[in-house]
Structure 1
């Protein structure tokens, strides 16, 4: 076994290790779903999903290319490793991979426009000075927000750091 030095790249994840921080990003990989969908030159938007968007599996909108839809959503699912800001939306549009429709595809395109405007987002882990760590947890849920199954979607954020939220930030 040989020492290959500090980790700098893990499949599609760029790793930069500095004296003050560790940074994980996927800027090169981010262009893949944009190229697949033909949206490289699209106009960026500031939010990953339309506010209060409710999609259903029982949609009567026109069918779209299911293979393309699944391929792009799969790439976006891998992008979530370093892009926590799109995790909810990717999970949401993943529900419709069996039979995607125009309104589902519109939500994916909106997400791709957001990704196009945030290609350089990274996760930054600042190095701590050895001070006492503090655990902070936030949770939330919508009540029966899934129209098809009447189930709730819940989410949780867990922070472990010397100060509640500062140890993890999105650039």
Structure 2
């Protein structure tokens, strides 16, 4: 090993000992998160039950939320004093204050006097461009209501990886687009052996996105704090397994905060049983 240039006071018979290495190791993410987590816990924060990367602190009428994604941190709350206090973790970590949140993980955040909107317009346009559908004819609906996808024999795709990549990007797009949640759930069932019929259904979703790529979620600043939820289910619509699909959504005031579409794990013998299972899943989400 050669001594690095500029390092004086060492002879050629000596070598440099590496005391600590973080980047490049498999456990680097865990070590970094562990140090940050311990620091936030000493500041009085606690882990959220639903997400270990979300830290919350509630004291009297004050509420602070901090979410971590790799080395990006989003901080919000109703106490400016606490927000300024938590910013002083730069003594332990080299961080930059980028100001008001505008763009985070492909999600565009727009602030106004009326409220906050979340949109994935750029992400949606990039998806259409990469798929070669930027100049396609728009569709009014993401999926044909009479279509029931199943393991058909219309011919397997020559490149199934492209289908999996497309559906994976659609799954992330559902972060702000609940209108394509059901169609994406249907497409994600056939990742192992997609056929031409499945690919045609995915193209239909892209055509729908072409006509409404700028749709967003809006959270008004003034609204009532009551929680409103809706639950629904179909009965044995899956041709392959005869299982049903659960769907629910929840509002805080007029703000949509949670939604999901998922196939049930067991086969129900009646439509009443299907509805009870959907209500049970919705109740768990509500709690």
TM-score (norm 1): 0.89
**Secondary structure of the corresponding residue to residue 157 of structure 1:** strand
The unaligned stretches of length 5 or more in structure 1 are: none
Counterpart for residue 110 of structure 1: 204
Structure-2 separation of matches of 1:168 and 1:11: 20
Structure-2 separation of matches of 1:63 and 1:53: 18
Counterpart for residue 63 of structure 1: 156
Question: Which 4+ stretches in 1 moved above 3 angstroms?
Answer: 166-169
Structure-2 separation of matches of 1:32 and 1:98: 25
**Secondary structure of the corresponding residue to residue 176 of structure 2:** coil
Structure 1 residue 32 displacement after superposition:
2.5
Q: Of the candidates 230, 234, 255, which is equivalent to residue 167 of structure 1?
A: 255
Structure 1 residue 136 displacement after superposition:
1.5
Give yes or no for the alignment of 1:141 onto 2:229: no
Report 1:1-171 matches (<5 A): 1=90, 3-57=97-151, 59-64=152-157, 65-128=159-222, 132-161=224-253, 166-168=254-256
What is the count of residue pairs matched by the alignment? 162
Structure 1 residue 142 displacement after superposition:
0.6
* RMSD over equivalenced CA pairs, Å: 1.6
- C-alpha contact 2:137 2:207 (8 A) present in aligned 1: yes
Structure-2 separation of matches of 1:135 and 1:85: 20
The unaligned stretches of length 5 or more in structure 2 are: 1-89, 91-95, 258-287
Counterpart for residue 22 of structure 2: none
User: In the TM superposition, what whole-angstrom CA distance separates every residue of 1:1-43 from its partner, at most 9, and x where no partner exists?
Assistant: 3543211110111011222111100111102321232111000
Higher-Rg member (1/2): 2
TM-score (norm 2): 0.54
RCO higher in structure (CA 8 A, sep ≥6): 1
